[in-house]
Chain A
Amino acid sequence: MAAGNNENAFSRELISFIEAWRNKPGNLIMVLHRVQEEFGYVSRESADTVAYMLDIPLAKIYGVLSFYHFFKTTKPGDHNIQVCLGTACYLKGGDMLVEELGNLLGIGVNEVTEDGKFSIEGVRCVGCCGLAPVLTVGKEVFGKVTKDQLPGIIAQFS
């Protein structure tokens, strides 16, 4: 990494991505997506860097970050457990999965466990309504989940 051990340093790929988008109108959201893809969230330092590189005021960047649910400004756990709270999943008990996960991990929604391993997030429809209720951990999707399966799912990632 170019800037020593700075964990907020942008990779070369990220920098060239931003440079490619620099002069395109409406680039901010696309750039923030790419930053979040790299770090898992958009830190204050990252936002500063984007502000500098795109010459956009920091206030405007935070205006956009705080408007859209998809963007995170705090670091999620290594394994972010996303429970679908779309209508189909809600009817089939998605909210109970959130509650039970909270009990099992001892954290609330959008909180991170002390060891930084897990976080819980309620998300909008992930579009697998046939498998409701659904939760995802990273790229893995679990369908027709029951409360009893949760300890096993957590164990898989511990």
Chain B
Amino acid sequence: MAYRSYILVCGGTACESSKANAIYESLLNEVDGQGLSEEVQVIKTGCFGFCEQGPIVKILPEDSFYVQVTPSDAKELVEEHIVKGREVKRLLYDKEGSKKHAKVEDIKFYQKQFRIVLRNCGFIDPENVDEYIAREGYSALEKVLFEMSGDEVIQELRTAGLRGRGGAGFPTWMKWNFTKQVKDADQKYIVCNADEGDPGAYMDRSTLEGDPHSVLEAMTIAGKTVGANQGYIYIRAEYPLAIHRLEVAMAQARDYGLLGKNILDSGFDFDIEIRLGAGAFVCGEETALLASIEGERGMPVPRPPFPAVKGLWGKPTVINNVETWANIPVIIMKGGDWFSQIGTHDSSGTKVFALTGKIRNSGLVEVPMGTTLREIIYDIGGGIANDKKFKAVQTGGPSGGVITEEFLDTPIDFGSLQKLGSMMGSGGMIVMDEDDCIVDVTKFYLEFSVEESCGKCAPCRIGGRSLMNILDKITKGNGTIEDIEQMKEIGHAMKQASLCALGQTAPNPILSTVKHFEAEYLAHINDKTCPAGKCKSLITYNILPDLCIGCTACARKCPTAAITGERRQVHVIDQAACIKCGACFETCKFGAIEIR
């Protein structure tokens, strides 16, 4: 049955935490109260991606885009928009104040985006399989079951040129083909890597929350192609909503005969189980992930043999990450040729990025490969927040590096990012401004890798710790000029000698920042200053006598009573008592506190 209007409420984690659930309930009540339940459908959908402006409500067919909605707005939305047909201008997204950005297509955030992976996020109710089917869902599976041979599927992926979206960019068709070619295995497995451990990245979580069936369908397609009957989804326990939606989706797919025994009467059996991760970054590495599914400590083992030949419980196993899986059904339906036209020669298709940090519009964006960083940061992201100056953008998380202003016009794909000393990684894209200290951020990433090192191989375990000690020294003002050379030396050794990608890439943040921001390191080492004013040992807070009016606000805030001064008199900070917490700096309304 068709409805006259559809109200879509974002049900992603970020919006849910801003009371999207209550908004959904209130809208349902209002629609019901107006006696419109037969005409208007309220749907909780997946992430719209525009997290900065959440919670988001979209009303179709007008395509009105409402932002920062609260539960108390529900009444007005229903009474005005639905009943009277007048848009609620006050809630429409609009940056310039002209109230003209009513429709999604007018919003700059979406204009340069091209959605393949996120095709259904924000359009369908992820907990209703019928809506997925209505948007061509499971047609690709049907095609693979009844019309295509396994070799044809692999050929299609080869034509498409799809490369793994987990970070390394290995051609997907090759992985599948290796597993398919193993003839003497009594069992093969399909695994989905949903252990999104990269801090500052949430592409996979949003995909699973917004469109879980696309991953289930793709895994089943892989099962049929390579001859596997069992799949596992390895997902972080920290993603309860995604886990719930996967469970719902799996139950519905089984009900419809799309999963389980004798799928669509084809005689093919395939089922999927969920296995929870437990907060170990290294488990994103495929051999460590498999060990974890087996219930062991997640420690990597040397490759070869590759999991494609000898994986889970020693059987041939195809492992792809969530985003890679979500591409598969589209490639099957639209063809590898179509897909290969999108993006660049080196990397076809699109990439989803989690655009965060000091950016005006944080959110989830999907762009064709080959889009430049400048387009993503300025056109889609709206530039740097609070009119600060751009400093660098970090891609690839703890395994990646920084990219500076002069390289912002590079079209991004797997190859170009690597050339710049960074990497695609899983898709975290973190923008830094002039207030961020590059040494401090590098230390943050390294701390992460050191803590997450499984400790099995010495280069990663000892090298990481040594690098950490040097960085700590530098941020405390005890660095020497030899430290830079030594960090490079240790870094290169780790890259060559570590067992798995975690150790091989852990020095990347250092190597890349030393290259692009040597001056900032030298300021810490030679001048004992932190230009960004972040490293506590290297800064002092001072009160500028000309600007201080003696309002006493800072003195009252100071936790150690280090600030003294009479009312209406210039105040002074006792440097010996100051713990550099910055409370005075944040409190002063007159800009009278300076960081030196």
Contact = CB atoms under 8 A, between A and B. Distances in A.
Nearest to B364: A130
Contact of A129 (B18, B200, B237, B296): B200
Contact of B199 (A63, A125, A140): A125
A29 B276 contact: yes
A29 B281 CA distance: 16
Nearest to A31: B295
B52 interface: yes
B202 A129 contact: yes
A157 interface: no
Interface in B419-442: 428, 430, 432, 436, 441
B444 A130 contact: no
Contacts of B586: 147
Contact of A69 (B51, B278, B293): B278
A67 B454 contact: yes
Contacts of A88: 199-200, 356-357, 362, 430
Interface residues of A, number: 41
A27 B295 CA distance: 6
B280 A67 contact: yes
Contacts of B239: 127
Contacts of B357: 87-88, 91
Given A68-B280, A143-B18, A127 B237 contact: no
B200 A70 contact: no
Interface string B204-239: 010000000000000000000000000000000111
A128 B583 CA distance: 26
Contacts of B199: 85-88, 90, 124-125
A30 interface: yes
A91 B279 contact: no
Interface string B160-204: 000000000000000000000000000000000000111111100
Nearest to A56: B295
A88 B586 CA distance: 20
Looking at chain B, what size class is its interface with the partner chain?
Answer: 35 or more
B313 interface: yes
Interface in A125-158: 125-132, 134, 136, 140-141, 143, 147
A125 B17 contact: no
B292 A29 contact: yes
Interface in B338-356: 354, 356
B237 A125 contact: no
A91 B394 CA distance: 12
B292 A127 contact: no
- Of the candidates B356, B454, B583, the one having the most CB atoms from chain A within 10 angstroms of its own CB is B356
Given A25-B294, A125-B202, A127-B202, A70 B18 contact: no
Interface of A: 25-30, 32-33, 63-64, 67-71, 85-88, 90-92, 96, 99, 103, 123-132, 134, 136, 140-141, 143, 147
Ranked nearest first, the 9 interchain pairs of A and B with the lowest CB-CB distance are A130-B51, A141-B17, A68-B278, A70-B279, A86-B199, A87-B200, A69-B279, A127-B202, A129-B356
7 contacts: A86-B199, A87-B356, A90-B199, A125-B198, A129-B354, A129-B362, A131-B18
Interface of B: 13-14, 16-18, 51-52, 54, 196-202, 205, 237-239, 275-281, 292-298, 313, 354, 356-358, 362-363, 394, 397, 428, 430, 432, 436, 441, 444-445, 454, 559, 581-583, 586
